[in-house]
Structures are given as structure tokens and as C-alpha cells.
């Protein structure tokens, strides 16, 4: 991805104050603005970045990629694609990677939120569900698009403002879990498609993280997929709608021998690496992938 040299304005809309004391809605919006401009590390006035370069058609096994969500960011990793936390990643780190022609993908939770998220207070009680798959997270009611859309739009604008060109939508499978809501398969499809369209409207290439049972239905709506442990779970064939459409599948295994699982995933045309579950900087690339595969870099 060509390095982006300009950044996107946040476009935060505040309601007009009424007479007398500020209404609760205005106060919540002011708090949200403060969170986005301080805790998220965003600047209030940012120039719009160039539109992201489309993913070139071709087998993903020709891509080198890195997924890091914890620990100090290692910008020296020899990878073409970096999947990162947009809150932890600084604008300076993103600029360093873009200057090296790295493609930046932000990971954004869309069907759940964490109590430590800077915007956690923006989720009203009515959309807060049961505990999520990770400690401190909760599923949200994805049927309430009118409530979630403004929150998700600001999360995506944060990514674009820091120079990310793509987004991996995480926690996009609440229907398959005890979410606290009666979510149906079609409810999730509708929501995931809406978020993908929202990402495109903000010049972000949408990717699907997980949600393997819906891949066949959603592959036309997304530009790439991110998968965890399809070899261990024997689910790799279910990702073929992406590979057959010449869309990248970025795959990770947390256990096993890369010399063994890479034979399987390279045959499918996936870009595969091994990581620790904490998703720190360590990485072991498939031996047959281009670049320093198998070095742990």
C-alpha cells in the first residue's frame, strides 16, 4: 500500500445545546469527543488521506504478514501486511510502516466491546449483552444499528485518521454464542454487511476476522479474511470462497509444526504464520513463504 501522507477528519457531530443545563446526550457526546481526541490519540483537524490501494488479485501465499496486538510494536518485521490495534498504534509508528510501503490493517471489535475501551461508555445498557469470549468484554445487540453505527463509524475513522487502509472486523459472530440476545444467522449477516459498507464509505478495505460459518455468504462483501487455527479445527476448506475469488486469506496457527500445517494452507493459497496466543511481536512464517520465513521474525 502506498504510504498515506494525509489523514482523515474525525467528523464528530455534537447536538445543539438546549436551554439551561446541558442535556445528557450532549454531555455523553462531549465525553466521547474527549475520549477520541485524548485516549485515542487523535488530532481534532486531520486532512483526508488518499484512498487505499485495492488488494491485488492473486494467491495470498505470496504475501508476508504480521499480527501484533500486545507488547512494543516491532516495525522492523519483514512483512507486507501488518494487522494492529488502532488504539495502541501511534500515528508515528503507522507513518514509519507506511514509509516502508507496508499495508496497515486495523483490528476493530464490532460485535462486542471491552470495558477498557476508551469509548465503552457510549454503549447504552440496552445493547449490552452477556460476557464475551475474552475477559472484560461483552457482546452487543447487533440488531440495533441506529445505536451502533455512530460508535463504529468513529472507531473506523480512528483507523483511517492514523493511516490504516483496511480493517479486520472482529467479534462478528455473536449469533453463534450466548450473547444475551436472540440473534439469528440473518441478523449477523445483515450487521456484518452494514459494517463492511460503512468501512468502504470511509475508504477502508473490509476484512472478515473469524465467523467461518458465514464465509460463503459474506465473501462477496469483504476483500480479505483473517482466520485462526483452521488447520487444527479442520475448517480451512470453508475459507475457499475467499481464495477462489482471489482474495487474501491471512491465517495463523498457535500450535503445531509450521513444516506440517504450512503444507496444508499453502496448498489452499493462504498466507500462514505461527504466533503465540498473546499476539506479541514473535512470529514464525511458513518456510515456503517469500521473505525470511521460519526465522521467527
What's the confidence (pLDDT) of residue 60? 64
What's the confidence (pLDDT) of residue 91? 95
Phi, psi (rounded to 5 degrees) for 75: -80, -5
What's the confidence (pLDDT) of residue 291? 44
What's the confidence (pLDDT) of residue 18? 36
CA angle 67, 249, 236 (to 5 degrees): 110
What's the confidence (pLDDT) of residue 4? 39
C-alpha cell at 108: 476493530
What's the confidence (pLDDT) of residue 55? 67
On the 0-12 / 13-18 / 19+ scale of CB atoms within 10 A, 95 is middle
Listed as ranges, residues in the chain with pLDDT below 70 are: 1-61, 288-297
Q: Give, for 168, the enclosing helix (H) or strand (E).
A: strand 166-170
What's the confidence (pLDDT) of residue 28? 43
For residues 173 and 94, give the distance between their C-alpha atoms in angstroms, rounded to a whole number.
29
Half-sphere exposure of residue 27: CA atoms within 13 angstroms, side-chain side: 5
The per-residue pLDDT for range 103-139, each reduced to its tens digit, is 999 999 999 999 999 999 999 999 999 999 999 999 9
What's the confidence (pLDDT) of residue 52? 56
**Could you state, in order of their start, the residue ranges of all structural domains in the chain?**
59-285
Q: What is the chain's alpha carbon radius of gyration, rounded to the nearest angstrom?
A: 19
C-alpha cell at 59: 494467491
What's the confidence (pLDDT) of residue 83? 98
Residue 116 three-state SS: coil
Strands (E), the chain: 65-68, 81-84, 103-109, 112-114, 128-131, 137-140, 166-170, 205-209, 224-228, 249-253, 271-274, 284-285
Pairing of strands 249-253, 224-228: parallel
What's the confidence (pLDDT) of residue 188? 99
Pairing of strands 166-170, 103-109: parallel
Output the CA–CA distances (angstroms, integers) from residue 208 to 105, 110, 295, in the order listed: 12, 11, 28
The matching CATH number, chosen from 3.40.50.11540, 3.20.20.70, 3.40.1280.10, 3.50.50.60, for 59-285 is 3.20.20.70
For residues 220 and 225, give the distance between their C-alpha atoms in angstroms, rounded to a whole number.
11
For residues 201 and 198, give the distance between their C-alpha atoms in angstroms, rounded to a whole number.
5
Amino acid at each position: 500500500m502506498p504510504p498515506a501522507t494525509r489523514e482523515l477528519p474525525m467528523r464528530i457531530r455534537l447536538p445543539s445545546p438546549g436551554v439551561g443545563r446541558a442535556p445528557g446526550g450532549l454531555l455523553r457526546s462531549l465525553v466521547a469527543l474527549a475520549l477520541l481526541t485524548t485516549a485515542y490519540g487523535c488530532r481534532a483537524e486531520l486532512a483526508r488521506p488518499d484512498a487505499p490501494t485495492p488488494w491485488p488479485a492473486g494467491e495470498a501465499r505470496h504475501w508476508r504478514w504480521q499480527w501484533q496486538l500486545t507488547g512494543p510494536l516491532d516495525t522492523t518485521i519483514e512483512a507486507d501486511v501488518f494487522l494492529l490495534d488502532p488504539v495502541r498504534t501511534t500515528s508515528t509508528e503507522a507513518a514509519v510502516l507506511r514509509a516502508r510501503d507496508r499495508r496497515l490493517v486495523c483490528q476493530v471489535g464490532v460485535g462486542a466491546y471491552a470495558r477498557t475501551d476508551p469509548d465503552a461508555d457510549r454503549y447504552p445498557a440496552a445493547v449490552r449483552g452477556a460476557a464475551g469470549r475474552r475477559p472484560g468484554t461483552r457482546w452487543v445487540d447487533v440488531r440495533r444499528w441506529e445505536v451502533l453505527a455512530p460508535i463504529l463509524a468513529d472507531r473506523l475513522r480512528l483507523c483511517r485518521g492514523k493511516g490504516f487502509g483496511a480493517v479486520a472486523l472482529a467479534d462478528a459472530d455473536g449469533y453463534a454464542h450466548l450473547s444475551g440476545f436472540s440473534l439469528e444467522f440473518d441478523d449477523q449477516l445483515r450487521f456484518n454487511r452494514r459494517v463492511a459498507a460503512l468501512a468502504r464509505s470511509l475508504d477502508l478495505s473490509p476484512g472478515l476476522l473469524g465467523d467461518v460459518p458465514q464465509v460463503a455468504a459474506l465473501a462477496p462483501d469483504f476483500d480479505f479474511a483473517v482466520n485462526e487455527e483452521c488447520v487444527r479445527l479442520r475448517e480451512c476448506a470453508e475459507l475457499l470462497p475467499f481464495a477462489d475469488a482471489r482474495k487474501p486469506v491471512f491465517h495463523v496457527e498457535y500450535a503445531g509444526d509450521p513444516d506440517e500445517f504450512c503444507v496444508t494452507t499453502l496448498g489452499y493459497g493462504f498466507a500462514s504464520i505461527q504466533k503465540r496466543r498473546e499476539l506479541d511481536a514473535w512470529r514464525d512464517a511458513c518456510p515456503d513463504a517469500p521473505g525470511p520465513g521460519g526465522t521467527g521474525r
